[in-house]
Amino acid sequence: MFNKKGPTRFTSPIIRASAVTLFLHFAWEKFQCSPYFIHGAVPGSESFPMIRAALGDLLITWTAYLGVVVVSRSWDWVIKTWSLKQWAAIFGQALIFSFSIEILALRTARWSYTANNSLIPIIDVSALPVLQLLILFPLSFFILRLMIKKSLRENSL
């Protein structure tokens, strides 16, 4: 099935899930940007940086998927019942990616936080990007799961 043929059999569900994931990250970025972050963009030109951020988030999401593939030793982990090690890989990568990106962006002055932003104590990183990946990684993988299973049902008819 999926293991023998690799991920290419599911190109269409992957593309559709990517579009949904891109939309979810773009919506999250648009929601959090103005009230909680200060970017170097010219006022009124926030859409391009948000699209770029959402595309980066999409790349990070698929990198995390590959991380779970490595832990699972299976391309089709997403359509099976998720084990504790898969959940740990998802959440662990969400924490590592979000903390790393935020710390790097703050140190290189790519952005800063407004007074409204809730920071995680000790490390002074915004809670919003951390929550973004903690929520949207599993949601994106669940959407992919649904789309692949739908594709499997349609192909078996």
Q: Over the stretch 34-78, which tens digit does the pLDDT of each residue have?
A: 788 887 655 555 677 888 899 999 999 999 999 999 999 998 999
Q: What local confidence, expressed as pLDDT, does residue 157 receive?
A: 58
Give every CB contact of residue 42 below 8 A, 6+ residues apart in sequence: none
Q: Does position 7 have pLDDT exceeding 60, yes or no?
A: no
Can you list the positions of beta strands (E) in the chain?
A: 37-39, 111-113, 119-120, 125-126
- Alpha-carbon distance of 19 to 32, in angstroms, equals 20
State how many domains the chain has: 1
Q: What local confidence, expressed as pLDDT, does residue 102 receive?
A: 95
Give every CB contact of residue 26 below 8 A, 6+ residues apart in sequence: 50, 51, 54
Q: What is the pLDDT of residues 132-154, one digit of tens each?
A: 999 999 999 999 999 988 888 87
Range of the domain at 116: 2-156
DSSP 21: H
Mean pLDDT of 93-112: 94
Q: What local confidence, expressed as pLDDT, does residue 38 receive?
A: 83
The pTM assigned to this predicted structure is: 0.87
Q: What is the pLDDT of residues 8-43, one digit of tens each?
A: 556 778 888 999 999 999 999 988 887 888 876 555
